[in-house]
Chains A and B, each alone.
Chain A
């Protein structure tokens, strides 16, 4: 198989890795639509070597020395690059879910960089925080952040949805270390998160559990079973976040099966509810995550209002049609140019 990849200093400037781990370079591929890796051996590659080794714990909520403003600034600079990666991955894959990946990416980035206590080289570390990506179709958003953190080589991103790739179309815990739970059949993640929270409690509340859910997913009956039971068990270690992007496959959520009044529903089920008006604003996301940690005796539900296809203007303006359709390579280039222009990034990199 053809492999085209070049290595140069990581423009993303991964603060976690560069400062905490002393790593200054990450692999980055060029000519990405042509990039191929030997995906047939990808499982073996992942088990043989993790690109970055460290026992360090990422996740910063306990980091006294952390400069919150600096982190926000850094995540703001990462965001357009993550978006470019998502668009490129999906174009390379030729299928997938751009709208919900782009709406979720800032929530995912905030969780990984600000909250989740994890060891990249020890995905099974017993006391790690758990992150359940319940809206599994949006998993490209998780993959790009995991690659950035060093869970796997960046080249693996371009194997998304291809035969033998650990980057399955929906998250697969059997194949990719660092994925906590296989999801994709909607409505199941919060129940799994609940079990993790009960296990955490039995073991002395050593870790917290985060569950990212979709708004369409919330129509599933099992979500409300879990809403009831998490409150019964007073699981204050759970923070559920809904990526409220207002659109699903068959139309706008309000037309397909309206969720409103969503906050009232969760409040009446016994949850502490926080509304984030802009789910792409890191200050608001950080504030909500901080508040959730302080709540005692009940679980927290964060309603994060987001924009489906955020960052790509032609997706934002037509959110339903970009739920489950990958951009063509031409559309991807147009999208990437737009993202880069808006972010003030050099445009030439987007042109092959």
Chain B
């Protein structure tokens, strides 16, 4: 089973729209790509096509939230999260019940190249004290995250979704628990801390390491902010080496968030895997291989970290 997290988002939102009349959805001329079009077709009165005006879209979403609406504000992550001032003032500082849906996360956007890649979005948004930052690892988690945002959560949130299909890493019994790290595999020699489209690669690398007698754990951080500090500290008590893996800049992202907790609680060696440069055009597969955020690449990075 392999499905893009944006697909699960679009279908879930359209399904929930029938029972929750307060859901409103805004998009900035990318509704087919973000999959908000499914909601738009089902509920045209509650869908607002904002044109190529991301800043205006964010403010409008905040105003809709003031009127009691549950607003989803969709675009490529690179276009919507870079309107950071509108996010920090209009959305966050107003405690607006707005979910910023950033699709086409990271270099996974592929051939469009750097300008369409969001490599800095997590770094920016996790600085806001009331911003929930979620990145599901598969379609199942994406569905449940959307349900949570509609039914339980009230406030500013950022939902980071993939363009590309990602293999399912959970079984059907999985229950998404916001704010709680999701341990997919236990290990004592090292632990991979991954999020989003890199989680399945981390599992693949852990399997391969296990064949060589290395015990590697895998933890899925679907909630990057607020980070599950307790889980990190507990892992640090048991595991000597951390390897963070993300389709994002290594500066300010998941790896940096984990580094902060390790430094503040239980110092452990951390090896950060992710992008250290602008991206470039290419297929997602080639890009994931180049930046060592696919299974083989993550394996290599872990081997290097173990040998250091």
Residues of B within 8 A of A130 (CB): 66
User: Which of the residues A188, A193, A197 comes within 8 Å of B86, measured between beta carbons?
Assistant: A188
A195 and B63 CA atoms in complex are apart in Å by: 4
A198 lies within 8 A of B89 (CB): no
Query: Cβ of A184 < 8 Å from any Cβ of B?
Result: yes
Q: A222 vs B60: C-alpha distance in the bound complex, in angstroms? A: 11
Query: In the bound complex, what is the Cα–Cα distance between A225 and B58 (angstroms)?
Result: 12
Q: Is B90 an interface residue (CB 8 A)?
A: yes
Q: Which of B51, B61, B67, B95 contacts A174 (CB 8 A)?
A: B95
* 1/0 contact string of B65-77 vs chain A (CB within 8 Å): 1111101000000
Q: Which residues of chain B have C-beta atoms less than 8 A from A181's C-beta?
A: 62-63, 66, 90, 94
The A contact surface, by secondary structure, is helix
Q: Which residue of B lies closest to A211 (CB)?
A: B63
Interface hit among A7-15, A56-64, A199-207, A342-350: A199-207
B93 with A199: CB separation less than 8 A: no
Min distance, Cβ B70 to any Cβ of chain A, angstroms: 11
B67 A196 Cβ-Cβ under 8 A: yes
In which size bucket is the chain A interface?
A: 35 or more
A182 at the interface (CB under 8 A from B): yes
Do residues A200 and B56 form an inter-chain contact, with CB atoms below 8 A?
no
A67 nearest CB across to chain B (Å): 33
Docked Cα-Cα span, A91 to B51, in Å, equals 45
Contact B59 A182 (CB under 8 A): no
CB of B64 within 8 A of chain A? yes
Could you list which residues of chain A lie within 8 angstroms of chain B, going by C-beta atoms? 126, 130, 132, 172-174, 180-185, 188-200, 202-203, 221-222, 225-226, 228-229, 232-233
Give 16 A-B pairs besides A173-B95, A181-B63, A222-B55 with Cβ atoms closer than 8 angstroms: A182-B89, A184-B89, A191-B58, A191-B62, A191-B90, A192-B59, A192-B66, A195-B66, A199-B63, A199-B67, A202-B24, A202-B67, A203-B67, A222-B59, A225-B55, A233-B48
Enumerate 12 A-B pairs (CB-CB under 8 Å) in ascending A order.
A132-B63, A174-B93, A188-B85, A191-B55, A191-B57, A195-B66, A199-B66, A200-B67, A202-B46, A202-B69, A221-B55, A222-B55
